[in-house]
Amino acid sequence: MLDWNTVIRLANEGTPEPDRVVRKSDEEWRAQLSDEQYRVTRKKGTERPFSSEMCSLFEPGLYRCVCCDTLLFDAGEKFESGTGWPSFTQPVKPNAVAYHADPSHGMTRIETTCNSCGAHLGHVFPDGPPPTGLRYCINAVALQKEKAALDRATFGGGCFWCTEAIFRELAGVHAVESGYSGGAMENPDYASVCSGTTGHAEVVQLQFDPGKVDYETLLARFFEMHNPTTLNRQGPDIGSQYRSVVFFHSAGQELAAQKAIEEINHSGRWPQPLVTQVEPARQFWPAEEYHQDYEKRNPYNGYVQRVSIPRLNRMKAKFPDLLKKMTCTRSL
């Protein structure tokens, strides 16, 4: 993951080679781009702050270079900085954006350019939100947005065998992967996470189609499938790795999670207040292969029969309209 020290090093030593290189003459760029696009991207101009609706656009999608169509940013890394320019916490790939020391205007800043065609994008600053601490301040006119077919969601609600099995059955959910997130240890494994010393939680990361199931529906099912009032515990599973947590991938997801928690607390559905944590998405580490599809692969496992399958069947009975077609409820 990029951080400020890495950015400084790349500005001094050079960015990794891009996946492709696009070269055109100045005349070709002039013919392709609008006057404002040309001024900003090819002549290092700056658009007026708050001049684009893109600043307040947080829908899922991808942002490409307006000059060469190189993929630069994911909307999941976009946040409201209040500066008047679209802001991101990191690019989609380490070699998508190039970095250059910029001594203009009596100060030294780090300029960002498209690593494929050299288009001026903006600057990067060390005052962004975690986990990178970076703010990529980008001219909206240098970007073009395409709507993503799928969005991401990451939830921790106890043992990932159970949560994976339930989410996998919901219509609009294309993929579910069990893994670990929220801690400091790199490349954690099941044994280290179970020790409770890594800071990681057992989580599932979803790939879902917002046109078929919205994030609010996924949140609602998440809060239905586990007890969000027990701290670091779900049923027989005890430890911080089993904590209730929502890792949001966008400002919209953060607001939706906070709103859901507030509404549930006010509803009186639970006698105690929710202890669910709402945190920015961090590095997701996929769990070992034998944990994937665990409930489906191990239907006669004792834990699966006592805990996973009953939870899955309760959700199926309660929300039959949300299930994928051609599914059947397992019986013990």
CATH code, domain with 57: 2.170.150.20
Mean per-residue pLDDT for 185-209? 93
Buried b (16+ CB within 10 A) or exposed e, 189-207: eeebbbeeebbbbbbbbbe
The catalytically annotated residue of 159, 162, 194, 328 is: 159
- Is residue 132 situated within a structural domain? yes
Q: Which residues contact 253 (CB under 8 A, 6 or more apart)?
A: 153, 215, 246
Question: Same domain, yes or no, for 157 and 115?
Answer: no
Annotated catalytic residue 114 = no
* 66/62 Cα distance (integer angstroms): 12
Model pLDDT, residue 329? 35
Q: Which two tokens stand for residue 295?
A: 């409930």
For 237-272, write each residue's pLDDT tens digit: 999 999 999 999 988 999 999 999 999 999 989 999
- Is residue 31 situated within a structural domain? yes
Question: Same domain, yes or no, for 135 and 189?
Answer: no
Model pLDDT, residue 231? 95
Total structural domains within the chain: 2
Question: Same domain, yes or no, for 181 and 142?
Answer: no
Residue 332 has pLDDT above 60, yes or no: no
The catalytically annotated residue of 68, 114, 117, 137 is: 137
Buried b (16+ CB within 10 A) or exposed e, 5-26: eebeebbeeebeebeeeeeeee
Write the single-letter amino acid at 220: A
Annotated catalytic residue 137 = yes
For 14-48, write each residue's pLDDT tens digit: 989 998 999 999 999 999 999 999 999 999 999 99
What residues make up the domain containing 293?
151-322
CATH code of 293's domain: 3.30.1060.10
Neighbours of 311 (CB within 10 A): 23
Question: Same domain, yes or no, for 317 and 222?
Answer: yes
Question: 264 with 232: CB under 8 angstroms?
Answer: no
Question: Same domain, yes or no, for 71 and 137?
Answer: yes
Question: Same domain, yes or no, for 79 and 172?
Answer: no
